[in-house]
Amino acid sequence: MKAASISDYRALARRRLPRFLFEYIDGGSYAEVTLGRNVADLEAVALRQRVLRDISRIDLSTSLFGERLAMPVALGPVGLAGLNARRGEVQAARAAEAAGVPFALSTVSACPLAEVAGAVKTPPWFQLYMIRDRGFMIDLMAQASAAGCPVLIFTVDMPVPGTRYRDYRSGLAGAPGLGGSLRRFGQALTHPRWAWDVGLWGRPHHLGNVAPVLAGKTGLNDFFAWMRDNFDPAIGWDDLDFVRRHWKGPILLKGILDPDDAREAAARGVEGVIVSNHGGRQLDGVPSTARALPAIADAAGDRLTLMADGGIRSGLDVVRMLALGARGVLLGRAWAWALGGGGQAGVAHVLELLAAEMRVAMGLTGVTRIDQIDEKILAGRE
């Protein structure tokens, strides 16, 4: 199949990846109500079509946190994404750099920060969780600073991991020991292309950034056990002071869904927030990001740079998010599917598709620059 959309890459990823990896990327928590809302609510945002406007010169470029970007899009942090293709985060970072957009590396990436940063000229953004071992956090921030990472994404909506039924059904979670390993091995054998490209030639197979604290344990069961034991449920607003002491650049809080939390973030002096429900992977039943974004934009005003993720499946969706109040968006599943379905070329193609689709959406709503996109291009609003 020749991919023509992000949904096509989802189909390719489903075909090419072992089940446990595809379901990990694709799934949400519990009944996946919020996962569905993210897509449906964004699709339901109607735009105001305008005609007879000079749209001969459309400019997608913008600036975020001192960086000039080709378009207001970043590849957001996705855990384990590097297993979707050989040294996958390196491939994705190269595609992002070629497209002129940021790549954000997850703390729980397959490829370590040093490997990814060494493969590109533009340093990645770095994502961090609140971890019980504060010394380890300090070390990660020092590594990110030394690598030249310009932005720290501090994820705050995961004091405890969400329950994802698909991971249990696929054998990724809840099947400790030899039984779980054999089940995943069997799934890999039914996908020989992945087994050859990633399973054989994509080594080492461990979570690069957390490998030092796993002390030689490299299994997925070891990783999930470490997550359960080391994410800190005692996280509070005062912990931002700890992060700020050890990170001098811009901080983006990821996981904001409530206007009061956005106001608190602004009062604490962070540079921006990411309106996010973790892709529907944490608390099921919460609002979609498209629903939450306008009220947060009103609460934040000009005090915060707002970004958003969740449900973005096209360049049209990017424009919708900007019209709802975001300054930029992060892709999650979209680039992970593309990586699994087509490697670096797939990620590059998805970014090309987004740019082309944004140009059409902007042209047919009568705007030619990113700073012209606001609520006025939404149907029913003047």
Q: What Cα–Cα distance (Å) separates residue 261 from each residue in 16, 17, 76, 178?
A: 40, 38, 21, 43
Tokens 């950034």 belong to which residue? 209
Provide CB contacts within 8 A for 294, sequence distance 6+. 324, 325, 375
The one-character DSSP state at 365 is: T
Binding site: what residues are annotated? 24, 77-79, 106, 127, 129, 155, 164, 254, 276, 278, 281, 309-313, 332-333
**Known active-site residue 246:** no
Q: Which residues are annotated as a binding site for FMN?
A: 77-79, 106, 127, 155, 254, 276, 309-313, 332-333
**Strand pairing partners for 154?**
128, 253
Known binding site for glyoxylate: residues? 24, 129, 164, 278, 281
- What is the CA 230 to chain-centroid distance, rounded? 21
Q: Are 77 and 110 in contact (CB under 8 A)?
A: no
From the list 337, 344, 343, 329, the residue with the least C-alpha distance to 60 is 329
The residues near 143 (Cβ < 8 Å, ≥ 6 apart) are 113, 114
Q: Are 256 and 275 in contact (CB under 8 A)?
A: yes
Of 191, 206, 278, 349, which residue is the catalytic one?
Answer: 278
Task: Give me the active site residues, please.
Answer: 278
